[in-house]
Chains A and B, each alone.
Chain A
Amino acid sequence: MDFNTLLKKEYIILDGAMGTLIQKSGAQYDHSPETLNLTRPELIESFHRAYIEAGADIVYANTFGANAYKLADSGYSVEEVIAAGVQNAKNAAAGTDALVALDIGPIGMLLEPAGTLRFEEAYEYFRQQIVAGAQADVIVLETMTDLYELKAAVLAVKENSSKPVLTTMTFERSGRTFTGVSPAAAAVTLTGLGVDALGVNCSLGPDELEPVISEMTKYTDLPLIVKANAGLPDPNSNEYSIMPDRFAQCVEGLLKYGVKFAGGCCGTTPEYIKELKQMLDGKSFVPCPKTADTAVCSASTVVEINGPRIIGERINPTGKKLFKQALVDNNIDYILTQALSQVGGGAEILDVNVGHPEIDEKKMMTRVLKSIQSVCDAPLQIDSTKPDVLEAGLRCYNGKPIVNSVNGEEKSLSSVLPLVKKYGASVVGLTLDENGIPKTADGRFRIAERIVSRAEALGIDRRDVYIDCLTLTVSAEQEACRETLKALHRVKTELGCKTCLGVSNISFGLPNRELVNSTFLTMALEEGLDLPIINPNVEAMTGAVRAYRVLASIDKHSTEFIEAYNSAAPAPAAKSETTMDLTTAVYNGLKTEAAAVTEALLKDSEPMSIINNMLIPALDRVGEDFEKNKIFLPQLIQSANTAQECFEVIKRRLSKEGGENVSKGKIILATVKGDIHDIGKNIVKVLLDNYGYTVVDLGKDVDPQLVVDTAIEQNIKMIGLSALMTTTLKSMEDTIRLVREAPALQNPDGTSRCVVFVGGAVLTREYAMKIGADYYCRDAKESVDTAKKVLG
């Protein structure tokens, strides 16, 4: 029997728990239960046989935790344990129709951003298991709680094997996994990645799974898997609460959601599987087609494109001096701030473009995508003209993204669409080709048709192709606006595709651009625009979309509209600009007021004199009060942030005038390798920023070599390192040593050109000196004092 033949059965019965049987048997093992594959093969084989006799069509080999991390000290290799595990199951299945699954569970370490395990490392763990389990018939990825880890595993399967793959995740009663994955996001992402079936296992009993299963099925046409626990264990007796007959009854109640695979997890035994088989005998599979429209997602949030959805356009360096500078400086926080403020403004999806000639776009794209996803739930649109950048982004993205973009050129079609298919994304299709943008709606429609047919030929659903009919500047070609809208209408109605459109191009060269933009946006929405790409922080634009949703009866009962506008308190009227002095505003952390006062001061004061005579003294006073225990750390930070606001006002003025640089020097900050607790480092960063230093923030878990390379590349003379744990102090020491040893960071006389300051909960001044630091800083304030001493 092979998997495709098996799929023809109405229902496919999976086995029950392995761990429960091992526990009940009292079998002893030294390290992990998987080692029993080698020490007690006959016992493991007998468990498989019992499940096959009870009716299981697929048995899971005893390989759940057989990865290099968990087996590290077991004395056995992954290859040995997996080969033996698969063989035991094969022996039991011999002479029957049962198939053997290579069973793969979570690695046991948390992936970035919450943990330290990198996506690529996770992939490698899984690859090793998949190669070792080559003899199995099917691959099962189960008990996953992190969609990102599961994605690494699915890619490892797809790239190292041609076997069918079944995936199940574990949800809590809250309806989410531990890491916050929603059933909908799991369904959307895994369906895109091309798994053969998906569903749930473990954690809950079958009586509690209805909310999870019913949500999943809305977002996929794939058959679902239910492998539930036998209820909850009693902590004292370890007996489970749901008996076999009731278990089968509960599963029966879930069949209407398109469940085709059923088995048991913790607490289940062959009895449970027997009951399941009896219940399923003679029943026909109930297909449950997906009801949701095309959707994109992050791990936690699904955005269904069933009405106009706003794509935020601000993460893009084009025409933005500060953004370009942030890219060059590796200032990821600047980009994250843009992301969060767009979501705050009403964006539901964010476009991410980091193309800039002075940087490595591929590296930056993966870094930015991962960073945004660590703080922001909105699905992302990966925007680049380079296929290798798109692929790097697609690989590391958690969820189902949009690719921006493909166009009608052969080169583009043949390089971008296969990536979209492989990584299960949606794609923006631009209606242009080798010959440029067709003048007529008809020309653009034909390109759209071509893109859709090429996509479908690769198995991409046309609803996942979002056609952009391209906005041209109305002041240059007045008729072009009509053609764009005509094309958009035809694409929507004749091709059945979703549509997107960058809106603001329309008004170049005209006064009152906002008025033109929002009017054009409203016209486009009425023609069927689904995905306006706009600046969501421009109230008129977001407002037009929200109002349209009400008027087109998409926003039922105007709920979202009322939520957006009813509760919004009117912005407090700016106080009279002259009543407050800058020092008071900074001291009390009053951002808006301080910025206004700075603006006013700039009318007749020199920027540098405002900085040196007002801002710095104000900050110094706050710093002193903090040291004297008169104010709390958050107050110090608020004041520093307020000063930052003032610096920004001044910076903008200076960059307009092209005048002197206000930076007092560059400083590298890094939380050392192995350490992910970086709040302390981030506080130092905020303060240094606010005192006018330029911080090159390398983030957390930073490789020592990266510190050295960055210091050399950017000619930086001051380096700050933080470590929280005694276990990571070693990394700090290694980093300092590497800095001292690098010839490029030494003076001609062999002394170090770099000043290193360090801090962290477990450090002492003595220890800091012992590992070769120049300064120990007790807190963020002392870091600023040190910077003043070193850089002035």
Chain B
Amino acid sequence: MITLKAVNKSEAVRYLGGAGVQMNEAMERLLGECEAELLSCAAPKYLYSVIDLPCDEITMGSAVKKHLAGCQSAALFCATLGAQVDRLIRVYQIRDMARAVVLDSLASAAIEQACVMADEEIAAKLPGKYLTFRFSPGYGDYPLELQRIILQRLDAARKIGLTVSDSMLLTPAKSVTAVMGISDSPIEQKRRGCAVCSLGKTCKYRKSGEHCGL
């Protein structure tokens, strides 16, 4: 059970394309109002389950194999902010697009925060084990189809209302699926980095010489 008390606003500002943009009072206020509204309707939830490795169904492609190298088991993971966040953003796309854009960025920051909190809870339940970072379908050659398999294995539709469409979009939108390697011995901490990222050269941060931080 995780609860968000605040959203990482500087992260959201970065999603808004804001590195280097001068903040002003009006923007600060807008961010604050949107944060309060987002927190009032976000219902972060996550699921995980530990599987033994090797597991062919889960380890498709070379990127994930590399990621899980040296791990004896793995945690399947998914998380969502819930359907009400999608609706909130949809409503503001009609009422006030500027707010919708801010809410969308805040929600992206919030789901990552929720995942980090979940990571910590999971790690605490696996004492003596070492976890890799969350590796998501779409990274490198890890197929998006894995979203469906992960969600099915976790019974996510029934348990937290998280589903995937035929075209592999997660609904609710502010959601994550991933797999984390679990090892008995310390693992070299790999960063996610651009090399495995599905955005590749199209990433707007990379184009401007920045990094998304993941």
Contacts and interface: CB of A to CB of B under 8 A. Distances in A.
Interface string B24-42: 0011001000000000000
A336 interface: yes
Contact of B166 (A116, A145, A763): A116
Interface stretch (A47-55, A218-226, A555-563, A671-679): A671-679
Contacts of A686: 97
A679 B169 CA distance: 14
A613 to B, nearest CB: 26
Interface in A166-196: 170, 174, 177-180
Given A179-B83, A761-B199, A677 B163 contact: no
A453 interface: no
B16 to A, nearest CB: 5
B167 A725 contact: yes
Contacts of B158: 106, 143, 170, 202
B43 interface: yes
Contacts of A632: 13, 16-18, 21, 27
Interface string A719-756: 00000111110010000000000000000000000000
B64 interface: no
Contacts of A631: 21
A375 B172 contact: no
Tell me the dominant secondary structure on chain A's binding face: loop
B102 A634 contact: yes
A174 B168 contact: no
B91 interface: yes
A375 B21 contact: no
B99 interface: yes
A333 interface: yes
Instruction: For chain B, give the interface size range.
Output: 35 or more
A634 B16 contact: yes
Contacts of B96: 641
Given A629-B20, A629-B21, A763-B202, A113 B90 contact: yes
Interface string B78-90: 0000111011011
A178 B160 contact: yes
A126 B168 CA distance: 23
A682 B103 CA distance: 14
A325 interface: no
B86 A114 contact: yes
Contacts, number: 138
Contacts of A202: 158
Interface string A639-651: 0010000000000
Nearest to A679: B104
B163 A115 contact: yes
B51 to A, nearest CB: 14
B98 interface: yes
Nearest to B160: A178
A179 B138 CA distance: 27
Nearest to B104: A679
A178 B82 contact: yes
Interface string A347-385: 000000000000000000000000000111000000000
B157 A115 contact: no
A763 B203 CA distance: 10
Nearest to B202: A764
A396 interface: no
Given A629-B17, A634-B30, A637-B101, A337 B94 contact: yes
A679 B89 contact: yes
Contact of B157 (A108, A117, A375): A108
B163 A637 contact: no
B171 A115 contact: yes
B28 to A, nearest CB: 11
Interface string B93-118: 11111111110100000000000000
A322 interface: no
B168 A727 contact: yes
Contact of A108 (B17, B125, B163): B163
A682 B20 contact: no
A589 B84 CA distance: 28
B101 A683 contact: yes
Contacts of A762: 198-199, 202
Nearest to B165: A116
A762 to B, nearest CB: 6
A109 B163 contact: yes
A724 B102 CA distance: 18
A571 B97 CA distance: 22
B171 A633 contact: no
B194 interface: no
B144 interface: yes
Contact of A375 (B87, B101, B166): B87
B171 A676 contact: yes
A634 B100 CA distance: 9
Given A108-B163, A641-B96, 13 more contacts: A375-B87, A630-B21, A632-B17, A632-B18, A633-B17, A634-B27, A674-B166, A674-B167, A679-B89, A683-B101, A725-B168, A727-B168, A764-B201
Interface of B: 13, 16-22, 26-27, 30, 43, 82-84, 86-87, 89-91, 93-102, 104, 125, 138, 144, 157-158, 160-161, 163-169, 171-173, 198-199, 201-202
What are the 9 tightest A-B residue pairs by CB atom distance, in nearest-first order? Answer: A178-B161, A674-B167, A634-B98, A637-B98, A110-B171, A336-B94, A638-B98, A727-B168, A375-B91
Interface of A: 106, 108-110, 113-117, 143, 145, 170, 174, 177-180, 202, 235-236, 333, 336-337, 340, 374-376, 588-589, 629-635, 637-638, 641, 674-677, 679, 682-683, 686, 724-728, 731, 761-764
28 contacts: A106-B158, A109-B166, A110-B171, A115-B163, A115-B171, A143-B158, A178-B82, A179-B161, A202-B158, A340-B95, A374-B90, A589-B98, A629-B17, A629-B19, A632-B18, A634-B27, A637-B97, A676-B165, A676-B173, A677-B169, A677-B173, A679-B89, A679-B104, A686-B97, A726-B198, A727-B167, A727-B168, A731-B167
